[in-house]
Amino acid sequence: MKLLIDEKDRKYLTDREEFHTGLGVVKIVENAQKVTSHLGHDFSVLKPRLIDLYEKLPRSGSVLLKRDIGFILAYTSVGTGDIVVDAGTGSACLAMFLANIVQPTGKVFTYEIREKFAEIARKNIENAGLQEFIEIKMKDITQGIDEEEVDLVTLDLPEPWLVVQHAYKALKHGGFIMSYSPYIEQAKKTVDSLKEASFRGIKTYEVFEREMEISNKGVRPSTRMYGHSAYLTFARKY
């Protein structure tokens, strides 16, 4: 898999030796850092990082935004060697960022009940080269978690409160749970369930992102801003 970036910083992912774009046909030469299309347009050639794959890979629906993923990784301090349980898989974007950190000695077990979503996730995981560190489990996580002594449980589900008791049982002492909920009613019900399950340190956050426009005229916040995505609820077993 190669990443092509054109003169306007637009990105293209391809695993072909010849790639067709609106700027012409690009022939990708092995180990080349720059290539020129048959119409004379230059492209940079890079090995894609995970963030490039996240931006371009096929998706089965809405995915967690980068700002939320980063907040989750920092808040839970997930690290090399950790065991993570994730549900639902979706396009596997969160699972891949988690696996990218816990490898090479850790693993992510991600639960999904929709085969169509799981198939897209498998292809994305393979393109990221992370298949050794992610296992997709075709199972309804509300019926229980197979893993024990887990470091982190992440939930992107319509009814995460149905998993809270299972998560408490699966987590090790000091382990985290994170629930991603688009609606505040979901977050409220999840918090109530976390309290009932004896979780501690329960916090809910909403993360915003605003890019800055920097030019010769001056500097100001971008007039376009990513608004609400979801409420992130965290808790810990101790």
Question: DSSP letter at 47?
Answer: P
Contacts of residue 62, defined as CB under 8 A and 6 or more positions apart, other chains included, come to none
Domain count, the chain: 2
Final residue in a domain of this structure, among 15, 33, 48: 48
In this structure, the answer to whether residues 231 and 203 fall within a common structural domain is yes
Is residue 37 domain-shared with residue 154, that is, in the same domain?
no
pLDDT tens by residue, the chain, 238 residues? 899 999 999 999 998 999 999 999 999 988 899 999 999 999 999 999 999 999 988 888 889 999 999 999 999 999 999 999 999 999 999 999 999 999 999 999 999 999 999 999 999 999 999 999 999 999 999 999 999 999 999 999 999 999 999 999 999 999 999 999 999 999 999 999 999 999 999 999 999 999 999 999 999 999 887 789 999 999 999 9
- Is 64 found in the same domain as 133? yes
Whether residues 187 and 102 fall in one domain: yes
Q: Are residues 143 and 77 in the same domain?
A: yes
CA distances from 211 to 52, 57, 86, 194, 220 (A): 19, 23, 30, 35, 9
157 lies in the same domain as 172: yes
Helix (H, G, I), strand (E, B) or coil at 194: helix
- Over residues 76-104, the pLDDT tens digits come to 999 999 999 999 999 999 999 999 999 99
- Identify whether residues 220 and 145 lie together within a single domain: yes
The widest CA-to-CA distance across the chain, in whole angstroms, is 65
Q: What integer pLDDT is reported at residue 213 of this predicted model?
A: 94
Tens of pLDDT, residue by residue over 13-52, are: 998 999 999 999 999 988 899 999 999 999 999 999 999 9
Residue ranges making up the domain that contains 61 = 54-236
90 and 181 inside one domain: yes
What pLDDT shows up at residue 225?
A: 77
Q: Which amino acid is at 169?
A: K
Are 117 and 192 found together in one domain? yes
Give the domain CATH number at 30.
3.10.330.20
Same domain, 33 and 103: no
For residue 82, give the CATH number of its domain. 3.40.50.150
CA triplet 57, 225, 215: central angle to 5 degrees?
Answer: 100
Q: What is the mean pLDDT of the chain?
A: 96
Q: How many CB atoms lie within 10 A of CB 227?
A: 8
